[in-house]
C-alpha cells in the first residue's frame, strides 16, 4: 500500500518530501522505517521545478516547526534535495529515484554532485530504506533510546544474515 498522507501524530521530526506522487513507492520505504522506530514524520509532495516557491517556503520554515532531518526524493533532473538544502541548515538526505529514461543515473548525478557549501547526503538509487535509517542515526545522536533500538536492529539483521548460510 502506498501511503501519502502525513503522519498525524504530533510534532513530526522528520520531513519526507518527494518531487511527484509518482515517487511515493520509494518514499514509503523511508516512512515505514521511521514508523518501525516510532519516529513521527510528515510527508509532502513538493517539486523544485513545478512548485519552487512552495518548496522554498516549506524548507525555510521546517527548522522552526521542529523538523530535525529532511529526506527528499526526486527523479530525472532531481534538484529537490539540493534546492531544499540551499535554504536550510537541517541535514538533508537525498534519494535519487529511478527514472524511466535513464534508470536513475540522471537522478543520481543531479543529486549527488552538490557544490561545496551545500551538502546533500545522497543514498543509493531508490534507497528509501537507507534514507530512513540514516535519518534515525542522526536523530539517535541526541536520543539514547533510539540509539539502543538501532543497535538492536543491526544485531537482528546480522543474525538473519548468518542464519541464511546453508
Q: How many CA atoms lie within 13 A of 111 on its CB side?
A: 32
Task: Answer yes or no: are the C-beta atoms of 58 and 70 closer than 8 Å.
Answer: no
Record the cell numbers describing residue 67, joined without a space: 523538523
Residues 105-164 that bind ligand RP5 (CB under 6 A): none
Q: How many CA atoms lie within 13 A of 68 on its CB side?
A: 17
Taking CB under 6 A as the criterion, the residue among 28, 47, 95, 123 binding ligand RP5 is: 47
> In this chain, which stretch among 1-9, 31-39, 53-61, 74-82 interacts with ligand RP5, using CB under 6 A?
74-82
97 sits near ligand RP5 (criterion: CB under 6 A) = yes
In the complex, the smallest distance separating the C-beta of residue 50 from ligand RP5, rounded to whole angstroms, is 7
54 sits near ligand RP5 (criterion: CB under 6 A) = no
Please say whether the dihedral angle defined by the alpha carbons of residues 8, 43, 91 and 49, taken in this order, is positive or negative.
negative
96 sits near ligand RP5 (criterion: CB under 6 A) = no
94 sits near ligand RP5 (criterion: CB under 6 A) = no
In the complex, the smallest distance separating the C-beta of residue 113 from ligand RP5, rounded to whole angstroms, is 17
In order of 7, 65, 134, the CA distances from 12 in angstroms are: 8, 9, 16
Chain residues in the site for ligand RP5 (CB under 6 A): 19-20, 22-23, 47, 74-76, 97
Amino acid at each position: 500500500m502506498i501511503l501519502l498522507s502525513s503522519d498525524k501524530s504530533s510534532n513530526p521530526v522528520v520531513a519526507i518530501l518527494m518531487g511527484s506522487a509518482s515517487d511515493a513507492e520509494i518514499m514509503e520505504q523511508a516512512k515505514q522505517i521511521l514508523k518501525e522506530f516510532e519516529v513521527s514524520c510528515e510527508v509532502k509532495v513538493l517539486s523544485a521545478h513545478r512548485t519552487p516557491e512552495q518548496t522554498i517556503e516549506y524548507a525555510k520554515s521546517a527548522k522552526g516547526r521542529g523538523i530535525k532531518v529532511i529526506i527528499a526524493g526526486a527523479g530525472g533532473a532531481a534538484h529537490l534535495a539540493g534546492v531544499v538544502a540551499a535554504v536550510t541548515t537541517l541535514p538533508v538526505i537525498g534519494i535519487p529515484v529511478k527514472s524511466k529514461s535513464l534508470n536513475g543515473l540522471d537522478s543520481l548525478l543531479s543529486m549527488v554532485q552538490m557544490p561545496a557549501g551545500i551538502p546533500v547526503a545522497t543514498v543509493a538509487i531508490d534507497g528509501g530504506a537507507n534514507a530512513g535509517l540514516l535519518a534515525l542515526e542522526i536523530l539517535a545522536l541526541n536520543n539514547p533510546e533510539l540509539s539502543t533500538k538501532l543497535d538492536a536492529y543491526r544485531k537482528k539483521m546480522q543474525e538473519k544474515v548468518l542464519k541464511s548460510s546453508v
